[in-house]
């Protein structure tokens, strides 16, 4: 199973396996059902974040983290995840979802800071996106044209999950 993480600017921040990341996004979908978290649920999950979306995406992540801090692992319908969560490297016996996914949130915010720093220093925005963090697949994800991400439909798997 490939490792994945968040990439922004000049750095990739590893979050664990593709299954771990998939579970993270599925928990976001369950906990935020009906809320406006499309920058995370679609942009970060399937595509990328544009420079103008970074502040709002960061705020959405903070809102989700607060919701996760109030959500016990027993409140998640793990059967709806659609994957064998027993293969995950996540520790599900923690007190709440925020502690289970603390590295995901921390690394997402690091990727945003890295993208902003790179833009400030070099005048080029390198989008924040979820990528395979293992070589050589990372190089492919890093160099993938944004048009390929834009062409993904709502039923298409993200590149990091293929």
Q: What is the pLDDT of residues 120-131, one digit of tens each?
A: 999 999 999 999
Q: 46 with 158: CB under 8 angstroms?
A: yes
H or E element in which residue 3 lies? strand 3-8
Query: Residue 82: what pLDDT?
Result: 83
Q: What is the pLDDT of residues 104-159, one digit of tens each?
A: 999 999 999 999 999 999 999 999 999 999 999 999 999 999 999 999 998 999 99
Closest to 24 measured CA to CA, from 51, 6, 8, 47: 6
Query: Residue 1: what pLDDT?
Result: 87
Query: Residue 127: what pLDDT?
Result: 98
Q: How far apart are CA 81 and CA 143, in angstroms?
A: 30
113: its two tokens: 């800071």
Ordered by start, the domain boundaries in the chain are 3-161
The radius of gyration of the chain's CA atoms, rounded to the nearest angstrom, is 15
What is the DSSP annotation of 6-20?
EEETTEEEEEEEHHH
Q: Which residues of 8-42 are buried (b: 16+ CB within 10 A; e: fewer)?
A: bbebbbebbbbbbbbbbbbbbebbbeeeebebbbe
Please tell me the pTM assigned to this model: 0.94
H or E element in which residue 56 lies? helix 54-69
Q: What is the pLDDT of residues 11-54, one digit of tens each?
A: 999 999 999 999 999 999 999 987 877 899 889 999 999 999 99
Q: What is the pLDDT of residues 80-95, one digit of tens each?
A: 998 889 999 999 999 9
């Amino acid at each position: 199973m490939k490792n994945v993480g968040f990439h922004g600017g000049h750095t990739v921040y590893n979050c664990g396996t593709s299954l771990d990341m998939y579970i993270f996004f599925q928990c976001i979908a369950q906990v935020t059902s009906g809320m406006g978290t499309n920058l995370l649920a679609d942009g970060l999950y399937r595509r990328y974040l544009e420079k103008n979306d970074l502040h709002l995406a960061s705020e959405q992540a903070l809102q989700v983290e607060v919701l996760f801090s109030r959500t016990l692992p027993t409140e998640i319908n793990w059967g709806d995840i659609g994957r064998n969560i027993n293969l995950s490297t996540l520790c599900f016996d923690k007190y709440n979802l925020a502690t289970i996914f603390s590295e995901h949130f921390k690394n997402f915010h690091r990727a945003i800071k890295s993208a902003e720093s790179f833009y400030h220093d070099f005048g080029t925005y390198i989008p924040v996106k979820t990528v395979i963090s293992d070589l050589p697949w990372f190089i492919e994800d890093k160099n993938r044209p944004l048009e390929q991400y834009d062409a993904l439909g709502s039923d298409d798997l993200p590149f990091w999950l293929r």
